[in-house]
Structures are given as structure tokens and as C-alpha cells.
């Protein structure tokens, strides 16, 4: 049986932490679907189409990765529609663990056939968030420790290079 995982997120923007989670997730599944979701609590900087293209470029050459814009739905429903048996989530800190484990329990009640795997961040990515990256970008800070080069360029184009 093919092991299909989904890695859902808004990815606005996609960070090196996200990329590391993709690499970790690929060790666990045959195919990893990066699902670009809509976060209804935040105003997106990039459109879903832009984010899909950015992530495709950042993950080019990684066999087993597929990037899709997910319809507005529960993650568990999308996972089921993709035939996934694993949901991959990255953890930056203990607050992520508390939040993600509660969602994992709810998902298990709705779809016990789908397992949620929580992957801790690599030490150099602890604390990195898309919100922090956007703040650094807004003030023209160095983005290279936080995002792939194509995302650096996309952020500079969107917000202006203030160097």
C-alpha cells in the first residue's frame, strides 16, 4: 500500500523550517502532498497560486513531493480526499505541541484511519515562523537564514528591497 502523507499549512511564506519538515516527512511516506491551505484568521501576503508556485520551486528535485492548493475545508476531509493515511505537522516549540496535539486528537476521532505525525523542528529552525519572516522582510532584514532563495526574491519583490 502506498503511504501518502499531507503536510498542510498556509505557508505564507514557505520557510526553511517548512522545507526541513518536508525532508523529514519524505522519510515516512512514499508521496508527500504539500497542501496550501487558507488561514481564515490571517490576511495572506501571497495568493494561493503564488504560494504553490514558490513551494514547487523550493522543492524542485525532491522526488515524491506534490504541491496543491487545497479547497477551503477541514484538513482531515482534505486528507481523506487525497487518500492520505498520514498528516505531517512540524513543531517549533511546546505551544505548537499543545495546539497540534489537540487537533490530532480531534482528527483521530473523525478519521481514525489517518495518523497525525508531529515532527520536532531542527534546532536551527526552532522559533522560525512565517509571521516573523514577514516582519523581518517588512524592515528589509536578512531573510537568508529563514527562507529559500526563491522566497527571499519573492518577498523582496512583494515588499520592496529595502537594503
- Percent of the chain beyond pLDDT 70? 98
Annotated active-site residue in 3, 42, 158, 162: 42
Closest CA to 83 of 37, 39, 30: 30
Fold of 4-124: Rossmann fold (3.40.50)
127 among the known binding-site residues?
yes
Look up 92 and say whether it is catalytic. Answer: yes
pLDDT at 142: 95
Q: Is the entire prediction scored with pTM above 0.75?
A: yes
Residue 2 has pLDDT above 60, yes or no: yes
95 noted as active-site residue: no
- Secondary structure (3-state) at 21: helix
Q: Is 18 a catalytic residue?
A: yes
Amino acid at each position: 500500500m502506498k503511504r501518502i502523507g499531507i503536510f498542510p499549512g498556509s505557508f505564507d511564506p514557505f520557510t526553511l523550517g517548512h522545507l526541513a519538515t518536508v525532508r523529514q516527512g519524505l522519510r515516512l511516506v512514499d508521496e508527500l502532498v504539500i497542501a496550501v491551505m487558507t488561514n481564515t484568521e490571517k490576511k495572506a501576503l501571497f495568493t494561493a497560486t503564488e504560494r504553490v508556485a514558490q513551494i514547487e520551486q523550493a522543492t524542485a528535485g525532491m522526488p515524491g513531493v506534490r504541491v496543491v492548493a487545497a479547497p477551503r475545508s477541514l484538513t482531515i476531509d482534505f486528507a481523506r480526499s487525497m487518500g492520505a493515511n498520514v498528516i505531517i505537522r512540524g513543531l517549533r516549540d511546546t505551544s505548537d505541541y499543545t495546539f497540534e496535539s489537540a487537533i490530532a486528537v480531534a482528527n483521530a476521532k473523525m478519521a481514525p484511519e489517518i495518523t497525525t505525525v508531529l515532527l520536532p523542528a531542527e534546532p536551527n529552525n526552532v522559533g522560525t515562523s512565517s509571521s516573523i519572516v514577514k516582519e523581518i522582510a517588512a524592515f528589509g532584514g536578512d531573510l537568508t537564514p529563514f527562507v529559500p532563495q526563491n522566497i527571499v526574491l519573492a518577498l523582496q519583490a512583494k515588499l520592496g528591497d529595502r537594503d
